[in-house]
Chains A and B, each alone.
Chain A
Amino acid sequence: GENVEQHPSTLSVQEGDSAVIKCTYSDSASNYFPWYKQELGKRPQLIIDIRSNVGEKKDQRIAVTLNKTAKHFSLHITETQPEDSAVYFCAAIGAAGNKLTFGGGTRVLVKP
């Protein structure tokens, strides 16, 4: 089945700097890659997603890139703000097209 690895597990950045989180996946047939943000005690919230027919997608300060050949995708947050502090999870849906397989999460701390 699908396996998703996520790095780093923790990331501390200064407010205003950029943050980058990287994920790799194992199933070459995977075709949907969402990113979720989870604040303490809250639900995972979708912040951006990308499908396999697109290489890059941007939404304001957030962007995601996908390299299907290398089977990796990345989340980029620019001009980080304290409210960006949370745990971020990448995920993938494989060929079966149903369940999300999540990475282990990245705890991001934005220092004012």
Chain B
Amino acid sequence: NAGVMQNPRHLVRRRGQEARLRCSPVKGHSHVYWYRQLPEEGLKFMVYLQKENIIDESGMPKERFSAEFPKEGPSILRIQQVVRGDSAAYFCASSPRQTTDTQYFGPGTRLTVL
């Protein structure tokens, strides 16, 4: 759905730098999900957030990755000390309610780690 906005669309980082990916959900949606897609692979769930709360982070690596969805502003996925294996497309999706509602995807951020 065109309503989910992500920026930047492309991000290049050198190993050891930090990457910040932003996601603005569809207006009125209070549930945000982050997924990662490695080259030539499917999408894998990372984290599910509501405003000011992390609901499920079972798919997120334990180290270097964090996510937030503040009361005001976009959701942020932060990757510290990036490594080459972090190169992927990161998609954000949003839905209006939690249970079995359609998730609309943003255009993704393609992260390249040199």
Contacts and interface: CB of A to CB of B under 8 A. Distances in A.
Interface of A: 1, 31-32, 34, 36, 42-46, 49, 51, 89, 93, 96-105
B102 to A, nearest CB: 6
Interface of B: 1, 31, 33, 35, 41-45, 48, 55-56, 58-59, 91, 93, 98-100, 102-108
A100 B45 contact: yes
Q: Specify which of B33, B91, B99, B107 lies most central, judged by the most chain A CB atoms within 10 Å of its CB.
A: B99
A98 B58 CA distance: 12
Contacts of A93: 100
Given A45-B105, A98-B31, 6 more contacts: A34-B102, A43-B108, A98-B98, A99-B48, A100-B33, A104-B41
Contacts of B45: 99-101
Contacts of B99: 97-98
Contacts of A34: 102-103
25 contacts: A31-B100, A32-B100, A42-B107, A43-B105, A43-B107, A43-B108, A44-B105, A45-B105, A46-B1, A46-B104, A89-B43, A97-B100, A98-B48, A98-B56, A98-B98, A98-B99, A99-B45, A99-B48, A100-B93, A101-B45, A102-B43, A103-B42, A104-B41, A105-B41, A105-B42
